[in-house]
């Protein structure tokens, strides 16, 4: 039976069915995608596992090996891999250079803690392989600028792991607000994130600003990326308030006290006048995020809610209200459940699908290094504003970083 690339990825549903009674010759719909690419995962912790599983689910690539410094992470990943993908081998590299330069491998997925990204990228770019670098690209603007320079003109794909834009609610919001212009010209945007505290990590790196960049860089760069995207402009100035009200107030790890914030209100005004804000609370018993966009012809609101309750109701919502000018729409955007439950409500799946499309020369809208940079510019400005109590003007912030860089290189 001849076979072209299929339109449908049978991994979505064949996992639920018994297809073992069919000979390989009789498998057409159920035939597994041939792996065309091999990726290595550098940093096999929480998100490393999500990248491994999603790569295998998407099907055009396979995971060839991992590199990690922590024995528990390595053993845990090997166990997970052999249980889920028994027909595949997993290489356990002994050095970063080995993992980066294995000629059998086409791409590198970097998912180590934020403060290690620069050091790993310096080695990874020597390989010329395609790179998917987790967000935030760095913990500070000096490192971020160096990564930007390393990625400039890079021969392979260099993508940043800002995949929230592919969650169904944001995907549909982009379609309505930007592509269809359903609410007219965008004037104000507000994002809310209410969630449980930061989870435990290997060596608890996310409890310390020097390792993570601070809460507004580490986690909230996702939302600043979305604000940048919807505002369709560059941030002009940022004013933020926030602090540590509940979480990790007594947390100490290896004699260091946690210094991260757990709530904030961040106002960002864009060069085109779009007025935005972001509200964070990390001591809520749920994962909830919401976006409200007001334009001169309507209002869009979308949310995603995982509250762990035994209540049967949709956990996504999108409404586009247009008054008398156009039809109003209310919907529950989602993906097939296998994708929706594969990590970050499907965002990670599409990040991978488009990473491979990028490799194959198909134009996509994945996050560029430039976009990764601007997402942390806002996060760093907001952290700075909370510390000083002052408005942070983005051109002044960037000027000081460029001057510092000049002084160091002279």
Ligand X SMILES: NC(=O)c1ccc[n+]([C@@H]2O[C@H](COP(=O)([O-])OP(=O)(O)OC[C@H]3O[C@@H](n4cnc5c(N)ncnc54)[C@H](O)[C@@H]3O)[C@@H](O)[C@H]2O)c1
Residues that bind ligand X (CB under 6 A): 42-48, 67-70, 73, 111-114, 116, 134-135, 161, 163, 201-202, 218, 344
**Integer angstrom CA distances of residue 340 from 132, 154, 162, 166, 243:** 21, 32, 17, 11, 33
Contact by Cβ (8 Å): 314, 302: no
Contact by Cβ (8 Å): 242, 261: yes
Cβ closest to ligand X, residue 48 vs residue 242? 48
Cβ closest to ligand X, residue 163 vs residue 340? 163
The pair of structure tokens assigned to 405 is: 């860089």
Cβ closest to ligand X, residue 62 vs residue 206? 206
Minimum distance from residue 204 beta carbon to ligand X (Å): 8
- Alpha-carbon span 204 to 216, nearest angstrom: 17
The string of DSSP letters for 243-256 reads: E-SSTTTT-EETTE
The pair of structure tokens assigned to 152 is: 């400039």
Cβ closest to ligand X, residue 111 vs residue 300? 111
For the beta carbon of residue 80, count every other beta carbon within 10 angstroms.
Answer: 16
Q: Which of 386, 382, 45, 394 is nearest to 219 (CA)?
A: 382
For the beta carbon of residue 238, count every other beta carbon within 10 angstroms.
Answer: 28
Minimum distance from residue 308 beta carbon to ligand X (Å): 19
**How far does CA 25 lie from the centroid of its chain?**
39
Q: Which of 267, 293, 303, 297 is nearest to 382 (CA)?
A: 267
Residue of minimal Cβ distance to ligand X? 45
Cβ closest to ligand X, residue 112 vs residue 173? 112
Cβ closest to ligand X, residue 157 vs residue 320? 157
Q: Who's near 93: CB < 8 A, 6+ residues apart? A: 40, 65, 66, 67, 99, 102
Cβ closest to ligand X, residue 23 vs residue 94? 94
Minimum distance from residue 140 beta carbon to ligand X (Å): 14
**Integer angstrom CA distances of residue 309 from 248, 305, 353:** 25, 10, 31
Cβ closest to ligand X, residue 315 vs residue 322? 315
**Integer angstrom CA distances of residue 389 from 148, 366, 382:** 29, 34, 10
Residue 76 dihedral angles phi and psi, to the nearest 5°: -65, -40
């Amino acid at each position: 039976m001849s076979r072209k690339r299929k339109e449908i990825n049978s991994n979505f549903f064949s996992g639920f069915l018994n297809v073992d009674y069919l000979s390989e010759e009789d498998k057409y719909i159920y035939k597994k995608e041939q792996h065309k690419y091999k990726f290595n995962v550098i940093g096999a912790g929480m998100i490393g596992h999500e990248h491994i599983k999603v790569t295998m689910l998407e099907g055009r690539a396979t995971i060839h090996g991992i590199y990690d410094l922590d024995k528990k992470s390595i053993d845990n990943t090997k166990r997970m891999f052999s249980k889920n993908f028994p027909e595949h081998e997993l290489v356990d590299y002994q050095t970063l250079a080995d993992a980066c330069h294995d000629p059998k491998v086409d791409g590198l997925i970097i998912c180590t803690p934020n403060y290690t990204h620069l050091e790993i990228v310096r080695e990874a770019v020597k390989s010329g392989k395609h790179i998917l670098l987790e967000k935030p690209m760095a913990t500070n603007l000096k490192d971020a600028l160096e990564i930007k320079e390393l990625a400039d003109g890079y021969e392979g794909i260099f993508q940043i792991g800002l995949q929230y834009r592919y969650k169904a609610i944001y995907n549909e919001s982009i379609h309505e607000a930007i592509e269809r212009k359903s609410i007219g010209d965008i004037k104000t945007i507000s994002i809310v994130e209410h969630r449980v505290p930061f989870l435990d990590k290997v060596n608890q790196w996310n409890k310390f600003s020097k390792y993570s960049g601070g809460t507004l860089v580490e986690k909230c760069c996702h939302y600043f990326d979305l604000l940048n995207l919807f505002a369709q402009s560059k941030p002009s100035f940022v004013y933020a308030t926030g602090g540590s009200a509940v979480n990790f107030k007594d947390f100490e790890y290896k004699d260091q006290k946690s210094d991260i914030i757990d709530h904030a209100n961040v106002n960002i005004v864009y060069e085109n006048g779009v007025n935005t804000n972001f509200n964070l609370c990390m001591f809520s018993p749920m994962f909830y995020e919401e976006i409200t966009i007001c334009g001169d012809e309507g209002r869009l609101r979308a949310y995603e809610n995982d509250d762990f309750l035994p209540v049967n109701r949709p956990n996504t919502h999108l409404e586009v209200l247009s008054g008398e000018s156009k039809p109003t729409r209310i919907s529950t955007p989602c993906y097939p459940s296998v994708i929706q439950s594969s990590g970050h409500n499907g965002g990670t799946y599409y990040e991978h699908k488009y990473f491979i499309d990028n490799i194959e020369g198909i134009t996509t809208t994945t996050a560029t290094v430039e976009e990764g940079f601007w997402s942390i510019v806002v996060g760093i400005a907001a952290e700075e504003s909370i510390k000083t109590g002052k408005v942070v003007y983005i051109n002044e912030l960037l000027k000081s970083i460029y001057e510092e860089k000049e002084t160091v290189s002279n």
